[in-house]
Amino acid sequence: MTRAAASPHRLDTALQALSGLSDTPLLSKALEEIFPGRACVVSAFGAESAVVLDLVARIDRRTPVLFIDTGKHFQETLDYRDMLIDRLRLEDVRSIGPARDATPGDPDGLLHQTNTDACCDLRKVQPLEKALAQFDVWVTGRKRFQGGARAVLPTAETDGPDRLKLNPLADWTPDRIDAYFDNFALPRHPLWHRGYRSIGCGPCTGKPIAAGDDRSGRWLGQEKTECGIHRYGDRAA
Ligand code: SF4
């Protein structure tokens, strides 16, 4: 069911209220006070996803978690997703996306070999946009240290005219991420143990090729650095 869009005034007020907050205080205020029942997390169940999922689960494990099942994930990612659902007792993980290898527009499932932008649009951007229509705010696990367009990431920002996006880990460092995994004994993605540091679809993910740049193994040999689900340049808190 499509929700009535939040008014620009309501979003402006919320953005101001969230200004200056990070990690748990940011999530608590958004999930419990401002947008109860109107927020979701979008997670790829990748290398560091467990951190933001754990933070959210400690506040409300009923928060919807959207997993974009592109049909191209590593089997290890699907297994890790199921393990984390169990471990964190996530109560509302929703798989969205095209049917595996039956996608109109990519009938043979090989579009990623010739046009990665079109493939990401078909398998990620369009399904997510449709799923987000019922939410006022979504939560991501992006960090500034990931570089590129993420280097100036705010903790709260607008995402188009009628939605907000929160990045509660925006100002976290790699050491802080590692410490969180250790302190809470969170399981690592199986491919992390094999040297992968940023994990998306199998055909478009390799191990990092540049020291200190975890995302340098994504879309190897291409200028592409983002799949397209994130708009940049919207207003920030
Ligand atoms: S990351 Fe690769 S396989 Fe996945 S949707 Fe994008 S182009 Fe397709």
**Domains identified in the chain and CATH numbers:** 8-217 (3.40.50.620)
The residues with which 139 forms a beta bridge, in sequence order, are 41, 166
70 lines ligand 1 (CB under 6 A): yes
pLDDT at 228 over 60: yes
65-108: per-residue pLDDT in tens?
999 999 999 999 999 999 999 999 999 999 999 865 557 789 89
In terms of DSSP bridges, do strands 39-42 and 65-68 run parallel, antiparallel, or are they unpaired?
Answer: parallel
141 C-alpha to ligand 1 centroid (Å): 19
Nearest atom within ligand 1 for CA of residue 72: 3
What distance in angstroms lies between residue 119's CA and the mean position of ligand 1's atoms?
A: 6
169 closest CA partner among 33, 46, 73: 46
* Percentage of the chain exceeding pLDDT 70: 97
Cα separation, 129 vs 86, in Å, equals 27
Range 117-132 average pLDDT: 95
Distance from first CA to last CA of the chain, Å, rounded? 29
Structure tokens given for 198: 């940023």
In sign, the C-alpha dihedral spanning 216, 217, 219, 220 is positive
At which residue do the structure tokens 């940011």 appear? 26
Q: Which amino acid is at 213?
A: D
**Mean pLDDT along residues 103-115:** 90
Residue 123 in contact with ligand 1 by CB distance below 6 A: yes
Residue 101: what pLDDT?
A: 56
Q: Is 119 a catalytic residue?
A: no
CA pair distance 146, 172, nearest whole angstrom:
10
Tokens found for residue 56: 């959210």
**C-alpha 233 to ligand 1 mean position (Å):** 23
Is the CA virtual torsion 133, 137, 143, 144 positive or negative? positive
- Give residue 100's pLDDT: 59
Element (H, E) at 42: strand 39-42
Q: What is the mean pLDDT of residues 203-210?
A: 94
Asked whether 215 lines ligand 1 (CB < 6 A), one says: no
Q: What is the distance in A from the centroid of ligand 1 to the CA of 234?
A: 24
pLDDT of residue 231: 80
Which residue's C-alpha comes closest to atom 4 of ligand 1?
201
Asked whether residue 227 carries a pLDDT value surpassing 70, the answer given is yes
Q: Does any ligand 1 atom lie closer than 6 A to the CB of residue 200?
A: yes
Nearest-angstrom CA–CA distance, 172 and 203: 29
Q: How far apart are CA 41 and CA 166, in angstroms?
A: 9
Q: Could you identify the residue written with the tokens 């809470």? A: 184
Is the pLDDT assigned to residue 191 strictly greater than 90? yes
The answer to whether the CB of 112 is under 6 A from ligand 1 is: yes
Any residues with CB less than 8 A from the CB of 108 and at least 6 apart, and which? Answer: none
**11-15 average pLDDT score:** 94
